[in-house]
Structures are given as structure tokens and as C-alpha cells.
Structure 1
Amino acid sequence: MKHSLRNLAAVAATLFIGAAAQHAFAHGDVVPQAVDTTGLKNLGADWQKSNPYRKDKTAIRIGDSAFNQNCARCHGLGAISGGIAPDLRYLPVGDEGDEVFMPRIRKGSVRDGRVYMPPFEGTLSQEAMWAIRTWLETVHED
């Protein structure tokens, strides 16, 4: 009887650890991925206040890929959140949405000492960030 309880406990512990490990890696590689912005106008060192690529087909294509590489693990494929992070389809379009989007992607979000979103400034270029914003406007919902 002692052996069967020990075996049962060992099996339960193994299943628990395996499930916990699988959950921990559910979002895959969380290291920001490089974004190739070839084909986009270089924006220089000064940060733009509004999206210079709005409705640009190249920016939409690059932004789609960049979002999937860097944002979808938390914000969901197609920007449809599964509850971990905000659903970005509901960001306002136009300059109003730019004012919400750009400070958050650049500086991230920390509350009570907890990182809710890492800062991407210094990792992603301004061009890559605006390309993501351009793509997000194509999946916008009211």
C-alpha cells in the first residue's frame, strides 16, 4: 500500500510539474524579434507624433509580421486578446489612437513595480512601431 501511494504521489507530481512547465512556456520566446523595415521611409531620430504610414500597404504588411513576432504572444493573434493583455482592435483610429499607442509601446507599462508590458524603445525602431500601429488600424473594431 505504501508503494502504491508513493507511486501515485510521484505520478501526480510529475503531471503537475509538466503542466506548470507547459503553461510557463505557453507564450514561447518572449525575446523581442528584429523587424525588417525595408521599403519604409526612414523617419530619422525625432519621434513622430502621428502615424506617418497610415494606410501604407508596405507598412501594413510589415506591421502584420512585426505584431505576430512581438505582440501576439500577449495581445493575441489578429490582436484578439485572450485576456492576458488588452485587445488592441479597440484602440481608437487616427491621431487619438496614436497618442495611446506610441507612449505605451515605447515605454511599456509598470504598475506597483510589476511589468505588464516591456518597453520596446531601443529594441524596435520607430519605423517598426509605426508599422505595427498601421496594421492595427486595419483590424480595428468599434
Structure 2
Amino acid sequence: MSKLTSRLALAASAMALAGLATTQLMAHGDVTPQAVDTSALPDVGEEWLEQNPYSGNEKAIEIGASAYNQNCARCHGLQAISGGIAPDLRYLELGQSGDEWFIERYQHGSSHDGKVYMPPFGEVLGQKAGWAIRSWLETQYTDE
């Protein structure tokens, strides 16, 4: 085989592999939420709260970090740094207004024109997991 033929074959193989990798990354399909063990956290009751009861709670932050990585990072990015597809959650306001926005999206998801941009996680993962994730997100906050 000539050098030119070898290089063309190598280039074609590289392009084919790149195409497969892109297809796999772009077409992750339905993703099953991963359960979150919140048994170490204080109970919050059945009624959805408007403010984070776990803000600053080290155990909640630890659980929230794991829950985020398992359920949120695929869209919102590692360390909450978005690659542009979903909101960068490092900029989510602290305090009650940020809590209200977060829990509304977490509980009900987001959809526009019949397209689901974020599935609802509230009934799937529960309130305790949501507030644990929010607690971890507070540690990633930046206003820059």
C-alpha cells in the first residue's frame, strides 16, 4: 500500500470514528434519573417548601454534589459550568428568589412549544434531593 493510500485510509477511519463519537454524544436518548439517598437529612414534610431548609448543611451539600453529578451534570455541566445547552447554574441567585426559581424548575421542569428542555424531577427524586442539590449549587455560586 502506498503512503498516500495509507494516509487516506487513516483519514477516512478517523473521520468515521469522529462521526460515531458525535452521534453517540448528541443522541443520548432517554436518561433514567438516578435515585438519591437522602435518609441522612432531616425530614421536610410533604408540602413543597419555598426556601431551602438545608442551606449550608454540610451533609446536604455532600449528598447534593453526588445527586447533581448523577442527574444534572449531563445537561448543566460538571461543577455547574454549562457548555451552553442548559443554564449555567453557578449564576442562580442566592436566597429566596433563587430558591423559588430552582424549586419551580426542579419540580415541574421546563418545556416550550411542546419540547421538553428539562424534565420534571420533583416527583421522581423528591423534595429532599432537590434541596440537597440546591445546597450544593449554592457552593458553586459566582456573580462574575
| Normalised TM-score (structure 2) | 0.83
With over 3 angstroms needed to count, the CA separation of the structure-2 counterparts of 1:56 and 1:15, relative to structure 1, is: closer
Q: What is the match of residue 34 of structure 1?
A: 35
Within 2, Cα distance between the matches of 1:141 and 1:28?
Answer: 31
The aligned counterpart of 1:139 is 140
Equivalent residue number for residue 48 of structure 1:
49
Count residues with an aligned counterpart. 133
| Per-residue deviation, 1:15 | 5.1
Say which is worse superposed, 78-87 or 14-23, in terms of deviation.
14-23
Could you tell me the TM-score, scaled by structure 1's length? Answer: 0.84
Which runs of 5 or more residues in structure 1 are unaligned?
1-9
Cα separation, partners in 2 of 1:12 and 1:67, compared to 1, 3 Å: closer
Partner of residue 9, structure 2: none
CA deviation string 1:98-128 (max 9, x = no partner): 0110000110000011100001121011000
Structure 2 portions without partners, runs of 5+: 1-11
Displacement of 1:23 after TM fit?
A: 2.4
User: Partners in 1 of 2:14 and 2:62 — Cα distance?
Assistant: 46
**Residue deviations 1:39-60, cap 9 Å, x none?**
1011121111100011000000
* Superposition pairs of residues 54-133 of structure 1, within 5 angstroms: 54-133=55-134
RMSD over aligned Cα atoms: 2.3
Helix, strand or coil: the match of 2:138?
helix
8 A contact 1:28–1:73 mirrored in 2: no
Q: Does 1:18 align with 2:3?
A: no
